[in-house]
Amino acid sequence: MKRILILVAISLFLCFIANSFQGGGGEATKKPKPTAKPRTAAAAKPRVALPKRSLTGTTNGEVTTPSGLKYRDELVGTGESPRIGQNVTAHYIGRLENGTKFDSSMDRGQPFSFRIGTGAVIKGWDEGVMTMKVGGKRRLIIPPHLSYGAAGRPPNIPPNATLIFEVELLSVNAANPTAPELSAPPAPATAALTIRSTPPNSSIFVDGQSIGVTDEDGLLNLPSLKPGDHIISGRKERYRDAQMPVFLEANQTQTAHLELSPLSGTLTVTLNVSGAQIEIPNHGNYDDEVSNLELDAGTYSIHAAKPGYRTVTQKVAIEAGRHSDVSLTLELTDEERLAQQAKNVAALTQLTQNYYLNNEFDRFVSAANRALDAGASLEFRLQHHHAFASLHTVKLTLTARSISFDPQVTEGVFCSFRPFTLPIEIVTVAQVEEGERFLSMRANGTYLKLTLQDSTNPKKTYTLNFADPASYFVQGGRGTAMESRTEATQALTALSRVVQYASIVARSSSRTPAGGSATASGASSSATKELIAKAIDAAGGLALLQSIKDMYSASTASIVAQGNQTIAVKTYWAAPDKYRQEMASNKTTNIYLFDGREGSVFTLNGKAPKLADATKQMRIITKLGGSGLYLHLLEPDTNLQLLGRQQVNGKLSEGIKVTDKDNDTYEIYFDAETYLPVKYAYQLRASTGMLYIEGIVTAYFEVQGFKIPRQGKSYVNGTLNAEERLTEVKINPGLSTSLFLKPVK
């Protein structure tokens, strides 16, 4: 039981974010047989001179020559021995050491002929047949360096293979019938090689000697090279040297492709502001600056971003062996610039309204939040929708402290609600819903639903539904339905985000933490609010956190408690209370699920483990997932207690103890300098007793502006349980609700 609990606990830092891969047969003139040397070899070696006929050792009739060749005569012939340059004809069977036959002239019914001593066959054959006599039979044991070496001859001859041949020498004939006695070796055979280089115009060397330069197409033809082993090298300025071994067969044309990789250059990026993020796609994210970063030659897009500033993108060409400097200037957005000047509250308010009217909704949300923080009052003309099919224009006014509703914009219109101005924190729900949920027929109507809590009776709520100003009712065969413009959903969603922002900030400002006297509570409330505000800002800002509806992440974890077993982890999180985690090893895949009410464990290929306190554990992890870590700190029914400072990862941190409406208690610690989360802790009851679970964050990165823990460790009762590293994160991927449903058995 404890081991299963430990498995769930590996989501150390993911709690913060999302709980937070030619031989044998054929014609004798083309196949390798024993004669065909591979076209490439693992290493170039000088041609080995034919050995003298003195022997280094004889054991049970087996002879070992100085080169390492071994042979044993099964039958000594009575005819002549071949001489260099003569044509010899033989039958053979070739086998590997394990007895596998890879080639046989006897199977083909055709003996094999070659010119001995000219490099036309592998070295072991040249040497081993040279001392035979016609009519003789010999067993050759040829080591790799005298045959096909480290390259082998796929698919029949593996790398570094020792080959065994049974050879019968049938005849020896003069290479030139008119001159049977060769007073000197024949003219050496040649081989042709075409070199193709990437990039073109590369200098080519053969066995260390310069031999030419490839042309604009990267080609260089070498028609007369000596057969045998060679090393082909390529060189070009700002590229790394490249080389490859080749074996050239006599009277054959071969091709070698040399690829030279570019040398790297270095890059330094500086910004005019601090606290910004620099992103180099497919390479990494960096804080504030990049200094002497080594990059392969090529063109890169450099992105710099900071909340409140316009994102800047600039392309830079990195040249091999050279340094590039890039200086980026980030400018304040209009709303940020106005928000920093109190006298421009009116201009900021106007800018907010302009964004809304021009359908620039992302800018509208940012500007509206800034305007509210600066003390602005924002007015919106909407249509109030009653239970019956009627709409009338109303005015909704928002400030950082209040929400006002005026239904009497148009005279003579009846409204069941009277005008009111109430504290903004009484808004408990601000969400957009589709019209078919309210009407008897399907339509394209979209509504903003606001739920307000009665200040005198917390269990009592009121609901107001607002439509976009351009919405209208249509009559159909099944009744009346409302139509809304295409942008209505975006517009009302943006407005709901602003209402949520104002309500959350107001609730945070008015909270009194649990415990302590009135005086102590007041001091604690101020310090707690400041710590939460700094943590939210460090994570990416409240508006960003509110926009995160779901997240997906993938990671790898090493389970120390199980011999460093590596498992793959996939985590899915959806606000406010949906969670799913899949842990896959080489034997089984377990699914840990919280559907908003109950925690469960399932398996895809085995018996599901049992958790003593699955619901509580999964519920806590869900609260620590995605943006839930931060937004749960702002919930009205959540009690907070400052825990003071302690050392985490050798750095000072500040802690908060959280006790929420479910009576779940957990601790969160934030770095005292960066205000990023560095530790979480909670307790669970198991059959073996209480388990104290901790997660420690050791590295971060940023995804779409959200600072996310990337790497960390988990502990159970003080013992290291797992180490985990994030490999992929997707924010707002639009997860299907079916992910969080219990699997159907």
Catalytic residue among 112, 114, 165, 700: 165
Instruction: Tell me the C-alpha to C-alpha distance, in Å, between residue 370 and each of 276, 390, 546, 701.
Output: 19, 34, 15, 26
Check residue 644 and give left, alpha or beta (phi > 0: left; psi -120 to 50: alpha). left
Phi first, then psi: give them for residue 728, nearest 5 degrees: -155, 140
Let me know if 675 is a catalytic residue.
Answer: no
Instruction: Tell me the C-alpha to C-alpha distance, in Å, between residue 477 and each of 436, 480, 481.
Output: 15, 8, 10
- For 359, counting Cβ atoms within 10 Å of its Cβ (0-12 exposed, 13-18 middle, 19+ buried), the class is middle
Let me know if 122 is a catalytic residue.
Answer: yes
Let me know if 114 is a catalytic residue.
Answer: no
Q: Are 12 and 722 in contact (CB under 8 A)?
A: yes
Catalytic residue among 13, 102, 309, 740: 102
Let me know if 165 is a catalytic residue.
Answer: yes
Measured between alpha carbons, how far is 551 from 572 in angstroms, rounded to an integer?
A: 6
> Which residue, 174, 177, 171, is CA-closest to 89?
171
Catalytic residue among 16, 71, 92, 630: 92
Catalytic residue among 71, 103, 552, 579: 103
Measured between alpha carbons, how far is 96 from 74 in angstroms, rounded to an integer?
A: 19
Catalytic residue among 6, 122, 141, 731: 122
Displacement of CA 360 from its chain's centroid (Å): 32
Strands (E), 290-377: 290-296, 298-305, 312-318, 323-328
Displacement of CA 357 from its chain's centroid (Å): 40
Strand partners, 243: 233
- Tokens standing for residue 20: 């937070």
> Which residue, 736, 745, 744, 742, is CA-closest to 572?
736
Contacts of 488 (CB under 8 A, 6+ apart): 446, 467, 468, 470, 471
Residue carrying structure tokens 């009576």: 663
Measured between alpha carbons, how far is 577 from 436 in angstroms, rounded to an integer?
A: 25
Catalytic residue list: 92, 102-103, 122, 148, 165
